Each structure stands twice: as C-alpha cells, then as structure tokens.
Amino acid sequence: MFRHILPLTALAIPLVAIAILNPHIAYAQSLSKVAQNTGNVQSPQIPDFTRISLENLPQVPVTPQLRQQLSQILSPSALNNLTVGSLVSPDRYLTVGSFQSMGLEQMSLQAIADKSGVAIGNVSLGQLGDLASQLTISSLLRSLPDLSNQPLSQVKPILDLALQQTGVANLASLGSELTVGQLVNAFPEFGNSSLSSLGSQLNTYSLDAIPGFAQLPLANIEGASSVLLSNLNAAGLGKLSLSQFPNAPTLLPNVHFGIVDIALGTKEKNRVNPISGGMTASGFQAVACDDSYAECPHIEVTDFLGGYYTGKQWMTAAQKVPDGYGFLGGLFGNRGPAGNHPFGDAFRVTIESLDEASGTVTLGLRFRWCQRGWFVDLGCTPYITPPLPFLVLREKNTIPYVVPSNATANLSLSTTKNKNK
C-alpha cells in the first residue's frame, strides 16, 4: 500500500439554505468571497484568498469512505485521530503534496514562520510531527551535505540518538572531535536510524539543533510531500492566507465569464459539448456525458462574448471522469468528479448539487494528493477530497470557467445536437 512507500514515503445565497439540496456540504460555513471586477459584466463571486487560510477552512465529517481513501495515502499514525463521525479540518487529511501547485514545497520552515510571524526559535522538532520524526540520519545527510562535517557536539539530536543506538558510551566525550560523517562511516547501520527513536525527547530540541534544517525548502526534505499540513502549523502554516503562497491561487489569464443559463436535471443525456472534465497527465480534458451514464445533470453556460462558447455544458460531480495520473492516480482507478479549473490545478470547482425546479446550483472546491520525491514522481490522485462549500448560484448568475484544451473537438458534435433541441 501507498503508506509503506511514503517514507521514500454573481449573487450568492447563504450556504445554510442549501441543506436540503446537499447535506454533504451544508455542514459548515462557506468560504470567504469577494466580487471579481470584470469590467463590463456583472461581478462574479470568487474566493477571497486573502482571508482564507488552513485554520479557517470549513471542517468536514470523517466518513467511512473518506477514511478508506485516507488509509491508502496516510501513515497509520496520521489516521489515529480521524474517527468516523468526527469533524476535522482539511489540514488533518491534506498533505504538503496537496499544495504542490501552490508552491508550498518551495518554502522553508523559516520562510513560513517569517510570513506568519512565528518565532522559529520557539519551535521544536517534536512539534513538526512526521516531518521530523520520519527522518533518518542518511536522509538528513542527503538533504544537508554540510552536516557531515559538523562535530557531534554541535548536533545534539544526532549525538543523543547515537548514544542510544550505537551503545558507545564515550561518544559524548568524543563529540567535539568526531563529526557526523565520521560517525556514520564508523557505524554504517546508524545511517538508517530514525529521529522517531528519540520519542518525546524531540520536544526538547529547537529547529536550530540541526543546523540548516529550518532553511531547507520542503522539497529538499525527504518524505515532506506525504506529511500532513497540520504538522507544519507550529511553524505558522495554518495562519498563512492562500494568497501568501508562492503560487497563490487566482483566476487564470484565459478565464471566461459566463451566465448560468439553464439548470438541467437527470432526464438530459448525451451532453457532448462539455467544459467540465478531469485532470490527467495530458492536462485538463473535457469529458462528455453520454449514454454510458444513466443521468447527466448539468448546467449550460452562456458566454458573455457569445458565439463558440455559448451552450457549453458543465456536468455535476456525480459524473466520474478520467482523473489523476501516476501511481497515486491508479490507487483510485484514475476516476474523479467532473469539474472545471478557473483557478488552475490547485483545486477543482465542482457542481455538488443541482435543483432544476429552483434553478439553483451548489458549487464546491475539491483538492487532491500529490507526491514527488527526489528520484520518483508518484503523480497525483483524482480530485476526490470532500468538497468544501464555496457558492450557491441561481440561473443568470455569473460563473467563471476555463475552456479545456480538447473542447474544440466537440464543436461539430454540439452544433448538430443543439439544432435538434
């Protein structure tokens, strides 16, 4: 299982009104939103990323399905407090790799602390959870080659671990002369020793106890992409607004603004002119909803500019489409909920429910898990995380979207279909 690999491993309706439409995402307050100035059209509502941080994202219920998904991704220790029926914040199930597209892995613990106003000297190794405890001496030396030349006396965690693991009682007296590299050369098996062996003692060491560690980009810390985001909250990650990330989510340059024209229910089939789909190794691809699906609930979008993009269909998350890539994608059958990516691939905007009678649609945001190491890219899962409540729209409200790269292939098909409607 994957966990054994990890150590290599417009106008908005208040969300509380949608419980009947979709109880699965009506359990929490919606995300902060702001009107987007588009110049010549009604202003759509988009997330206000300057006010959205990990610590104020809505909580989600832990369902058996979610826990089963997480068991394929997270380590057993990360699953311990995720009890079915409890409410948890997304940082308890999303990993550093989930924010890969936002550039989190380019940041160091020092950079996170500086942006959030945390004094890095007051953060202990133990507060970092798996980010620190999973490290071995060998992986530390690969990340910090200069550490090899440091005297043991200057790297107290490694000295204490060596005293515990090697059984050599006089190491402490040799600490001022013996370097970390010399110790590993003398005891090669010590390179496989993990900081987790220090247990609660890790709480007694500040990050400065391992010179250079706090300044390492997370991408240079082995296994960091599989670590829960909550493990970095001691360094202030939870306090950062999403706008403070290196690749802050924002509407893409090629985004379109359309009007929710028709909310169509389950009787409609053969929707062959889509702007919704999935993200594979080939990028964002539109996926039609044909007779292989019994139902094709969707909205049709009228582009403000008219012409080609008018009449495009956006299917609900009930449609499962090719999604994800690499090893992680395969864990979940490379299938995920249909949606669109007006903010890029950091998350997907999905239609979580659609009420034809009232012409109302409920939008959610979904994330994924990715993992990329020094020598291997395990890819990304489909966007199968629980939806975070975003926005409720009615017909004639504005909605942003991007046109998938393969959408032009559907034009000739949709022309015939639309003439026959």
pLDDT digits (tens, 9 = 90+) for 187-222: 899 999 999 999 999 999 999 999 999 999 999 999
Nearest to 297 by CA among 274, 323, 325: 274
Q: What is the pLDDT of residue 133?
A: 95
> In angstroms, rounded to a whole number, what is the distance separating the alpha carbons of residues 262 and 351?
14
Q: Which two tokens stand for residue 375?
A: 């020598």
pLDDT at residue 261, rounded to an integer: 84
| pTM score, whole prediction | 0.86
Contact 142/222 with Cβ under 8 angstroms? Answer: yes
Rounded CA-CA distance 158/146 in Å is: 14
Question: Do residues 350 and 316 touch, judged by C-beta distance below 8 A?
Answer: yes
The tens digit of pLDDT for each residue in 133-161 reads 999 999 999 999 999 999 988 999 999 99
Continuous segment of H or E residues that includes residue 156: helix 156-166
Q: How far apart are CA 161 and CA 397, in angstroms?
A: 61
CB-CB contact of 50 with 243 (8 Å)? yes
Counting as low any pLDDT under 50, the low residues of the chain are 1-28, 409-421
Q: Calculate the alpha carbon distances from 362 to 46, 196, 291 in Å.
A: 13, 44, 25
The structure tokens listed for 324 are: 């994800």
Distance CA 140, CA 204 (A): 19
